[in-house]
Amino acid sequence: MTQLAQHGGLLVPAHVVENREPPRDFVRRLQSIFGRDMHVTWHVGKRKFVIEQCIEHFPNGEGPEGLVIHNHLCRRVYVWLVRDEETNEYMPLTDRVIQKLHEMETYRKYGTGPEALARFRAESAAFDRDQKTKQKEDAHGVFQYLKRHNRIVRNKLKTMMGRHDWLRPHK
């Protein structure tokens, strides 16, 4: 049976209005380590925390203890759905989450902010160009091999034809 909760004078399913706030000390540590554009929210459908990066901030000012306040008007990119990788279960916001973000390498490699997206796209385009060049070189190598092989076959055929007299039938 579905649990009901009171929301604005209405009775609605509890999972719809569930909204968990991340611990302030965790958000403070996250913003101090990775940048002030990091944001943590609760994903109602998946019932897990989501870490996002604000790429275009809608100014809301600063909240208590110097935390940057982000809202639904900010343009954000998805960073990570906080979950235990082995069991796919809920994972609390602890040092393990910070360690996992360090392991993800994205922040050290591209940085933070709107420029990070441009750096990522530039590297992705360069990788695509390298892959196309490699594919063309591989195709050219196969073509050269087939060309050499065909030449060998033609030379063998010419030699065999030269050894036989084709004008007289075999007796």
Helix (H) or strand (E) holding 23: none
Looking at residue 156, what is its pLDDT? 80
Q: Could you report the per-residue pLDDT of 56-79, keeping only the tens digit for each?
A: 777 665 666 667 777 777 888 888
Measured CA to CA, the distance from residue 110 to residue 53 in angstroms comes to 13
Token pair for 167: 């004008």
Backbone angles phi, psi at 130, to 5 degrees: -60, -40
For the whole model, what pTM was predicted? 0.52
Which pair of tokens denotes residue 156?
């063998």
User: Would you place residue 151 in the very low, low, confident or very high pLDDT band (cuts 50, 70, 90)?
Assistant: confident
What count of other Cβ atoms lies within 10 Å of the Cβ of residue 161? Answer: 10
Q: Alpha-carbon distance 168 to 171, whole Å?
A: 9
On average, the pLDDT of the chain sits at 79
> Do residues 23 and 42 touch, judged by C-beta distance below 8 A?
no
% of the chain at pLDDT higher than 70: 77
* Strand, coil or helix: 121: helix
Contact 110, 53 (CB under 8 A): no
